[in-house]
Amino acid sequence: RYLRMEGKFYIKKHDEEISKHENIIFIFDDFDLRYHDTRKFGEIHIQDNDFVDVGVEATNITYEALK
């Protein structure tokens, strides 16, 4: 992969303007998790839940907990 050339994740409020480099937005109840990648070298892999146990804690993330 490309060393240090991948994007970054940002936690933003729903009403914040979307940057042209925010390629993927995960929408939660009280915040957005946005993937910002100007060079588009980063990758995101979606896995089937049969192989990943995210646990209760990960499904109850709040904006306040991540600030």
- pLDDT over 70, % of the chain: 64
28 touches 42 (CB < 8 A): no
Residue partners of 37: CB distance under 8 A and separation at least 6: 6, 7, 8, 21, 23
pLDDT band at 59 (very low <50, low <70, confident <90, very high): low
Length of the chain: 67
Q: What is the tens place of the pLDDT at every residue in 1-11?
A: 555 667 889 99
Distance CA 1, CA 11 (A): 25
DSSP character at residue 32: E
pTM: 0.62
Lowest mean per-residue pLDDT among 2-11, 14-23, 27-36? 2-11
